[in-house]
């Protein structure tokens, strides 16, 4: 951290240039006490306790680490998915709108000691996983991987598109099932006019699917609703403003939210009373069905970024912020939400127009990753912030145009991790942290006295 501090002191950041990092507030009596997993700008997946101590680490080449449930690893604790290798993309320079030329070559499951126990890449189409954003272990031992596929699609303006594909990969690293987004365009809910806009998109990454989850056991399916079969898959498309469930047996879309919503006013704030019909969601992330055993089980939880997205672009409030929404997936009603106002601030005080995540916790709190600012926190159902942490692991770089040093502490996705996910000997602390009164908090100033 000494070298990092030196780098950051060279020039003030464009945002607030002085702020604490690590744990900034913590009430152990009201928080759900746990570990948290996230990957920082140092390309390390950190497992921290709520006091901010990094208690375990794994190498991660692309900041997409994800924990694996021990029930899916034969009871073995502390296994994670990480990106193991990246490489220069083959042919991606031919895709208009593709900024990064790096693609994921190999992804892996690492055990607690960092040993590779499963990997995917060399047997992937084209010899590279091209995984992005997400992955999940299935009860049958296979793994579903969200990946990119660069190929021409008939009827599109772009000669090649950066398509989204789901691979099911067996323990030997072989693809045994796949689903390609462009083959299901007519199932996403677009009108003919909207579909024309999609096909004429200026960027090749026309959907930008950023999330892949297994639906999992739920009371909707138990009551007979086949759309929510536990084996089905849920994805959301950031650029197209929809969330869908894919039936595993047929590959067909069997449930959707969006791309059409109740309109929002550009000048006014969105409604806050619940329950109410789902209003304009835009550029969302981390949509999933709340697992059984947690408060709100069976409902959909999603981080609604309120970023610019949609065909055509959705009208979102000019001075609004982001939202976390809990949605009844049958009635398609918002039953709970978190906004900046929930914690006593203006709407724009909680805002991340891209990345980010939210997860329900066993005590009814909600874990939130406000990814753009590298802020992880917990809120009660009433909006009280009972834990807060600012990522101290900055990614240091250089601006391609100016050559100026850059620093970025954003977090793509943080995840709460229960204590029993790790070996029993893993240390953790639960010491309260009180935030200072910001109206009186000042840095010391050197005296002008001779």
Q: What is the mean pLDDT of residues 183-200?
A: 98
More confident residue, 19 or 236: 236
Is the predicted pLDDT of residue 191 greater than 70, yes or no? yes
The model's pTM is 0.94
| Helix, strand or coil, per DSSP, at residue 198 | helix
pLDDT of the residue at 11: 60
pLDDT of the residue at 1: 37
Furthest C-alpha separation in the chain: 82
pLDDT of the residue at 8: 56
Is the predicted pLDDT of residue 411 greater than 70, yes or no? yes
CA distance 172 to 276: 47
CA distance 275 to 277: 7
pLDDT of the residue at 345: 95
DSSP per-residue string spanning 232-267: -EEEEETTTTEEEEE-TTT--EEEEE-S--B---SS
| Helix, strand or coil, per DSSP, at residue 57 | strand
Q: What is the mean pLDDT of residues 76-80?
A: 98
Report the DSSP pairing between strands 233-237 and 209-214. Answer: antiparallel
| Helix, strand or coil, per DSSP, at residue 196 | helix
| Helix, strand or coil, per DSSP, at residue 309 | coil
Kindly report, residue by residue over 7-50, the tens digit of the pLDDT.
455 466 777 888 899 999 999 999 999 999 999 999 999 999 99
% of the chain exceeding 90 in pLDDT: 83
Is the predicted pLDDT of residue 382 greater than 60, yes or no? yes
CA distance 295 to 383: 15
CA angle 218, 221, 224 (to 5 degrees): 150
CA distance 42 to 34: 23
């Amino acid at each position: 951290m000494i070298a990092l501090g030196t780098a950051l002191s060279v020039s003030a950041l464009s945002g607030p240039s002085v702020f604490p990092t690590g744990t900034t507030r913590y009430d152990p009596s009201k928080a759900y006490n746990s570990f948290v997993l996230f990957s920082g700008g140092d390309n390390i997946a950190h497992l921290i306790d709520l006091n901010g101590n990094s208690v375990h680490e794994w190498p991660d080449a692309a900041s997409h680490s994800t924990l694996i449930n021990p029930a899916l690893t034969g009871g073995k604790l502390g296994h994670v998915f990480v990106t193991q290798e990246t490489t220069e993309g083959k042919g991606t320079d031919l895709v208009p709108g593709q900024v990064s030329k790096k693609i994921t070559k190999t992804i892996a499951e690492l055990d607690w000691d960092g040993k590779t126990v499963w990997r995917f890449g060399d047997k992937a189409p084209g010899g590279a996983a091209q995984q992005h954003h997400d992955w999940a272990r299935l009860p049958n031992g296979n793994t579903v991987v969200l990946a990119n596929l660069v190929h021409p699609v008939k009827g599109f303006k772009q000669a090649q598109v950066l398509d989204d594909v789901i691979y099911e990969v067996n323990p030997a690293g072989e693809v045994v099932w796949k689903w390609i987004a462009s083959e299901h365009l007519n199932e996403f809910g677009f009108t003919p006019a909207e579909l024309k806009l999609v096909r004429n998109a200026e960027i090749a990454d026309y959907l930008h699917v950023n999330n892949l989850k297994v639906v999992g056991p739920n009371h909707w399916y138990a009551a007979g609703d086949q759309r929510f079969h536990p084996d089905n898959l849920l994805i959301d498309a950031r650029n197209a403003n929809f969330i869908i469930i894919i039936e595993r047996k047929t590959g067909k879309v069997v449930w959707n939210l969006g791309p059409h919503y109740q309109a929002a006013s550009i000048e006014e704030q969105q409604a806050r009373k619940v329950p109410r019909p789902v209003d304009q969601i835009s550029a969302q992330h981390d949509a999933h069905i709340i697992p059984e055993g947690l408060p709100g089980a069976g409902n959909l939880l999603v981080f609604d970024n309120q970023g610019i997205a949609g065909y055509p672009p959705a009208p979102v409030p000019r001075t609004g912020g982001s939202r976390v929404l809990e949605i009844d997936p049958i009635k398609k009603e918002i039953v709970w939400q978190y906004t900046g106002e929930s914690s006593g601030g203006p709407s724009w005080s909680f805002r991340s127009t891209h990345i980010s995540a939210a997860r329900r916790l066993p005590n009814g709190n909600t874990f939130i990753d406000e990814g753009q600012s590298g802020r992880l926190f917990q809120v009660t159902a009433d909006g009280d912030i009972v834990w807060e942490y600012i990522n101290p692991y900055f990614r240091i770089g250089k601006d391609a145009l100016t050559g100026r040093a850059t620093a970025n502490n954003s977090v793509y996705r943080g995840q709460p991790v229960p204590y029993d996910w790790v070996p029993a000997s893993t240390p953790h602390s639960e010491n309260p942290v009180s935030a200072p009164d910001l109206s009186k908090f000042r840095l010391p100033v050197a005296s002008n006295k001779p």
